[in-house]
Amino acid sequence: MSAGSVLVVGASAAGLATAEALRRKGFTGRLTLLDAEPHRPYDRPPLSKQYLAGDWDADRIRLRTSTVDDALVVGEAAVGLDAATRTVRTATRRTLTADAVVVATGLRPRTLPGRPDLAGVRVLRSLDDATALRAELAAARRVVVVGDGVLAAEIAATARRSGAEVTMAGPQPAPLADQLGPLAAGLLADLHTARGVRLRLGTAVAEVVADRGRATGVRLADGETLPADLVVVAIGALPATDWLAGSGLRIDDGVVCDERCVAAPGIYAAGDVARWYHPGLGRLVRLENRTNATEQGIAVAGAILGADRPYAPVPYMWTDQYDARIQVHGRPAADAEVTVTDGAVADGRFVAVYRHAGRPSAVLGWNMPRQARLRRADVAAAYAGESRPEGAR
């Protein structure tokens, strides 16, 4: 199928990559790129790093839009979709119909139950979130970061730079333990501790405690209260699919798609919101990382233009915390067997290969990006369908 008109909902990494790739590949039909946020497209990874730290300003994190400027409509949310007619309704009561509709609406942050309106409680997903958090961090003396995943760890690292007392609280034994396993998570715990972040891990956070509408701390499941004048909640995010209720699409932890990222005839999904069938892994997966957003966007553009190729990437993510740059090719399982293949843990530079049932399923580089990439080939087979390590989720 080749479409005469395309409507992309969500103009961030995935949506913009789709639109740019359509134009690059010679699409000359009608193109609309719609986003709810009032800002021109910007990049999210720096929001917890250089932008939050104050090193970069908003101009520095703008995404490139020069080839799709004419298609961009910002500040207008999609509020409904009829998949059968490929018609999108917007908050300004417009209806937009296209031959192909791409869902690229990303995620919305999870919040702690109750009291979302308290002062001194912040989440981080958007530029406005980051701008508000940056201002409050500058004044905060005691910060509690609720969460123990990658975003929580990055926020804690950046918050520490402003000189505040920072505590990280979450249920895992160490930051990113589920994601990276005990070796890397243990090193991250040591790194945060050495930089003065207090880790109060291994216990879930029950609630934010407040006085007169302002957060004063968090209460842990074991009863202890950690005082804070700023609470940052980074406990994960959920696919932004509310607007797709009643659309006729299958929604189950994201927009469910086949191996060509097709959710229904003429409807595609890309980026953090897409849960597609990865043919190499033989199951539905949803990735929340920056390179997938771009690569899947490009794949969807190809599919719209008639390419008949399944989307089967080797997942890739990176995180920067203090002076550690960690990169992961593939999906490590926490219970995998881990072998250091290059460098040395004691030197703060190494590459580790994760194996499941003897087969490599992921490579982690710690301050060794080039060497980690060179080992990527060892895990590629696991994502091409030639072998399916049990733990490669």
Ligand X SMILES: Cc1cc2nc3c(=O)[nH]c(=O)nc-3n(C[C@H](O)[C@H](O)[C@H](O)COP(=O)(O)OP(=O)(O)OC[C@H]3O[C@@H](n4cnc5c(N)ncnc54)[C@H](O)[C@@H]3O)c2cc1C
Residue numbers at the binding site for ligand X (CB under 6 A): 9-15, 34-37, 44-45, 47-48, 77-78, 104-107, 124-125, 151, 240, 243, 271-273, 288-290, 293, 317-319
Edge-to-edge strands, sheet with 5-9: 72-74, 30-35, 5-9, 100-103, 267-269, 262-264
> Site for another protein (CB under 8 A): which residue of 11, 17, 133, 351?
17
Q: Which does 20 bind (CB under 5 to 8 A by kind): another protein, ligand X, none?
A: another protein
Minimal distance, residue 294 CB to another protein, in Å? 5
9 binds, among another protein, ligand X, none (CB under 5 to 8 A by kind): ligand X
Helix (H) or strand (E) holding 179: helix 177-194
- The interface partner of residue 272, options being ligand X, another protein, none and the CB cut-off 5 to 8 Å by kind, is ligand X
Q: Which CB, 15 or 266, lies closer to ligand X?
A: 15
Site string for another protein, 87-116 (x = CB under 8 A): ------------------------------
Task: Find, among 338, 287, 294, the residue nearest to 315 by Cα.
Answer: 287
Alpha-carbon distance of 366 to 388, in angstroms, equals 25
| The amino acid at 5 | S
Give the C-alpha separation, 381 to 383, whole Å. 5
Our CB check for ligand X shows the closer of 359 and 366 to be 366
Stretch that binds another protein, among 75-83, 97-105, 274-282, 317-325 (CB under 8 A): 317-325
The nearer residue to ligand X, 105 or 172, going by C-beta atoms, is 105
Residue pair 80/247 in contact (Cβ under 8 Å)? The answer is yes
Looking at beta carbons only, is 37 or 320 nearer to another protein? 320
Q: Which does 298 bind (CB under 5 to 8 A by kind): ligand X, another protein, none?
A: another protein
Measured at the CA of 340, the angle between CA 338 and CA 344, to 5 degrees, comes to: 140
Q: CB neighbours of 234 closer than 8 A, spacing ≥ 6?
A: 109, 123, 124, 145, 146, 147, 149, 151, 152, 155
Angle (deg, nearest 10), helices 177-194 and 150-161: 10
Taking the complex as a whole, the smallest distance from the CB of residue 49 to another protein amounts, in Å, to 9
Contact partner at residue 107 from another protein, ligand X, none, CB < 5 to 8 Å by partner kind: ligand X
Q: What is the DSSP letter of 180?
A: H
Q: How far is the CB of 235 from another protein (least distance, A)?
A: 24
Q: Which of 122, 200, 290, 355 binds another protein (CB under 8 A)?
A: 290
Q: Looking at 96-176, list the stretches that DSSP marks H as alpha helix, in order from N- to C-terminal side.
A: 127-139, 150-161
Interaction of residue 368 with another protein, rule CB under 8 A: yes
Phi and psi torsions of 231, nearest 5°: -115, 125
Tell me which of 15, 19, 43, 274 binds another protein, using CB under 8 A.
43
CB of 300 to ligand X, least distance (A): 11
Q: How far apart are CA 311 and CA 292, in angstroms?
A: 10
Which candidate, 100, 105, 79, places its Cα nearest to that of 9? 105
Q: Are 127 and 46 in contact (CB under 8 A)?
A: no
Helix locations, 254-345, DSSP H = 290-304
Q: What is the nearest approach in angstroms of ligand X to the Cβ of residue 124?
A: 5
> What does 373 interact with, of ligand X, another protein, none (CB < 5 to 8 A by kind)?
another protein
For residues 143 and 133, the answer to whether their CB atoms sit within 8 Å is no
Cβ nearer to another protein, comparing 35 with 43:
43
Check residue 229 for interaction with another protein (CB under 8 A).
no
Binding-site ranges for another protein (CB under 8 A): 17, 20-21, 24, 43, 45, 63-64, 290-291, 294-295, 298, 316, 318, 320, 325, 327, 365, 367-373, 376
